[in-house]
Amino acid sequence: MRTTILGLGNTLLRDEGFGVHFLNEMEKNYSFPENVKLVDGGTLGYGLLDTISSCDRLLVIDIIKSDDQPGSIYRFTQAEMELHLPAPTSAHEVEFFDVLIKAELMDKLPETIFLCITPQDYGGEMNPTMTPIMYNSFPAMENFFLKELSGWQLTPNRREA
């Protein structure tokens, strides 16, 4: 089974870049089996279509806007995630879910799981540094992350410090 772990977000907009920052931290701390590909998806939109359609399983790390406490972590299947999506605002904006829909239309949609976290500071002025609560949430997200991979019989090896 080909597995892709995808970190999403804009690293120039504070907590919005959590998925990418977290993915980089996991890549630094763990080695992964050959059938696991880690991808910095940033804000690539349709540029991710080939990546998504060429795997069997997809684990997405991203933020989710909610009224919950910053640092709250959630796990969603694709169907569950659809319930939390905002209404489309423009046919010219490409959201990540649009890319998943395109993969589904091509009959190449992988099993998809989302691990999401509520940000403290979303968007606004450009600042590449996340808020402390987001960095402090790495261990909790790491637990969710490793548990999800374990459910797929994937066990990354911790690198020596």
Amino acid in the structure at residue 35: N
Tokens describing residue 17: 């870049």
What band does 93 get if pLDDT is binned at 50, 70 and 90? low
Nearest to 13, CA basis, from 137, 128, 155: 128
> Across 87-101, 117-131, 135-149, which has the greatest mean pLDDT?
135-149
Q: For the segment 74-90, what is each residue's pLDDT rounded down to a tens digit?
A: 999 888 877 766 555 55
Q: For the segment 138-160, what is each residue's pLDDT rounded down to a tens digit?
A: 999 999 999 999 999 999 999 98
Instruction: Lowest mean pLDDT of 22-31, 33-42, 51-60, 74-83, name the range.
Output: 74-83
Average pLDDT over residues 13-32: 96
Query: Quick one: pLDDT at residue 158?
Result: 95
Average pLDDT over residues 120-131: 88
pLDDT averaged over every residue in the chain: 91
Bridge partners for 31 per DSSP: 157
Instruction: Give yes or no for a contact between 14 and 130, defined as CB atoms under 8 angstroms apart.
Output: yes
Instruction: Lowest mean pLDDT of 4-18, 25-39, 67-81, name the range.
Output: 67-81
DSSP H helices, the chain, are 18-29, 49-53, 78-82, 96-105, 132-136, 138-151
* Residue-number span of the structural domain to which 86 is assigned: 3-158
Helix or strand run (H / E) with residue 75: strand 73-77
Count of structural domains within the chain = 1
**The CATH number of the domain where 68 resides is what?**
3.40.50.1450
Residues 18 and 138: their CA atoms lie apart, in Å, by 9
What band does 92 get if pLDDT is binned at 50, 70 and 90? very low
Residues whose CB is less than 8 angstroms from the CB of residue 123 and which lie 6 or more positions away in sequence, other chains included: 13, 14, 16
Residues shown for the chain: 161
pTM over 0.85: yes
